[in-house]
C-alpha cells in the first residue's frame, strides 16, 4: 500500500463522459482513500455529490445502471424533466427536475449534511464569473451547475441566474481549500467520436463547441497552475448526450483507473515527481 497523505478531489464536467468518474472512485474505495474535500462541475458535481454523501463507487455504478441501463427508463426520466412547457422542445428542460430525476434518494438535501465537504461550480450568467456553492440546499446548486446552454433553461437561484459551470471552470482543482495534494479527474478534453464530414445537430454542435472552449481554457490554466495529479481517461471521447452508452463509458475509463490504482499503491510522498503527474488510459 502506498503512502498517499491528505488529498482533495476535483471532478470535471463532460456530460455523459463524466460517468467515467465512477471507476476512478471505485479505485479510491478499494484503496480505502477518502478525500478531505471534493469540487465538481456539471455532471462532475452530481457524481461528486454522490461521493460526498458517502455513496461508494460500486453503489453508484448500480444506481446508474438502474437509471441509464434501460432506454425506456432513461426516456421517462428525461421526459419528466421537461415539464409541460418542455414537451416537444428539448432546450426547455428544467435542470432541477433533471437533478431530482437522476440523483439517488440517499443524497442529503443540504451541503451541511454531506460526509465530505463539497464545492459545486456554476457560472453567474449576468456577472460572467464563477460561482462556488458550498452551503445551503444542494439540489438547486447542482441544477445551476448542469444548466448547459441550449439544453437546459438557465437556473435562477437566490436572485441570480446561472448556467453550466463548465463555461468558466470545467476542472475546478483551483476551487478546493488548501490540501497537501489535489487529484484532478478530467473527462472532457478528448475529441468526441464522429465522422469528420458529419454535420452535427444544433444541440450536439453547442455541446461540441463548449468542449472546444473548455479544452482551450484548461490548456491555458495548466501553463500557470496545475494540480499535483491529473487523471484523463478514454471516456472523454463520448459525446455529451450519450448517456445510453453507460457501459461503454465505464469500460473506457477502466484502463486509466487501473493505472491510477498501481500508481497510488506505490506512492511515496518523498519521491520527486513532475507536476502534474499525468495518468491516462493509453
Grid coordinates given for 157? 437561484
Spatial separation of the C-alpha atoms in residues 68 and 62, rounded to whole Å: 10
Cell 468518474 appears where? 21
State the catalytic residue, choosing from 53, 94, 145, 164: 164
Cell 448500480 appears where? 62
Grid coordinates given for 37? 474535500
168-to-25, 47, 82, 235 alpha-carbon distances in Å: 25, 19, 26, 22
Spatial separation of the C-alpha atoms in residues 231 and 7, rounded to whole Å: 14
9-to-34, 150, 164, 183 alpha-carbon distances in Å: 9, 29, 20, 5
Spatial separation of the C-alpha atoms in residues 86 and 45, rounded to whole Å: 24
DSSP single-letter state for residue 183: E
Which ranges in the chain belong to alpha helices (H)? 21-30, 43-52, 57-68, 71-82, 95-102, 138-146, 202-224, 246-265
Cell 428542460 appears where? 93
Closest CA to 17 of 246, 259, 183: 246
Residues comprising the chain, all counted:
282
DSSP single-letter state for residue 163: E
Spatial separation of the C-alpha atoms in residues 205 and 216, rounded to whole Å: 17
Instruction: Give catalytic status of residue 164 as yes or no.
Output: yes
- Residues noted as catalytic: 42, 164
Amino acid at each position: 500500500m502506498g503512502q498517499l497523505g491528505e488529498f482533495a478531489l476535483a471532478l470535471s464536467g463532460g456530460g455523459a463522459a463524466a460517468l467515467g468518474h465512477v471507476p476512478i472512485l471505485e479505485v479510491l474505495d478499494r484503496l480505502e482513500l477518502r478525500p478531505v474535500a471534493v469540487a465538481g462541475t456539471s455532471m462532475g458535481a452530481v457524481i461528486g455529490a454522490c461521493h460526498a454523501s458517502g455513496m461508494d463507487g460500486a453503489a453508484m455504478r448500480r444506481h446508474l445502471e438502474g437509471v441509464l441501463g434501460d432506454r425506456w427508463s432513461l426516456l421517462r426520466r428525461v421526459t419528466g424533466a421537461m415539464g409541460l412547457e418542455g414537451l416537444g422542445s428539448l432546450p426547455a428542460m428544467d435542470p432541477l427536475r433533471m437533478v431530482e430525476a437522476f440523483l439517488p434518494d440517499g443524497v442529503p438535501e443540504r451541503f451541511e449534511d454531506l460526509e465530505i465537504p463539497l464545492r459545486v461550480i456554476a457560472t453567474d450568467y449576468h456577472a460572467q464569473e464563477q460561482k462556488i456553492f458550498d452551503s445551503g440546499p444542494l439540489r438547486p446548486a447542482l441544477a445551476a451547475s448542469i444548466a448547459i446552454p441550449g439544453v437546459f433553461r438557465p437556473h435562477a437561484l437566490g436572485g441570480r441566474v446561472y448556467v453550466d459551470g463548465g463555461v468558466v471552470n470545467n476542472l475546478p482543482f483551483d476551487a478546493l481549500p488548501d490540501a497537501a495534494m489535489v487529484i484532478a479527474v478530467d473527462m472532457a478534453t478528448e475529441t468526441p467520436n464522429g465522422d469528420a464530414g458529419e454535420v452535427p445537430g444544433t444541440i450536439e454542435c453547442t455541446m461540441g463547441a463548449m468542449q472546444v472552449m473548455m479544452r482551450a481554457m484548461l490548456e491555458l490554466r495548466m501553463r500557470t497552475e496545475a494540480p499535483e495529479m491529473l487523471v484523463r481517461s478514454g471516456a472523454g471521447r463520448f459525446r455529451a448526450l450519450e448517456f445510453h452508452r453507460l457501459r461503454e463509458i465505464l469500460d473506457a475509463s477502466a484502463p486509466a483507473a487501473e493505472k491510477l490504482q498501481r500508481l497510488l499503491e506505490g506512492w511515496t510522498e518523498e519521491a520527486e515527481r513532475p507536476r502534474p503527474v499525468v495518468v491516462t488510459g493509453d
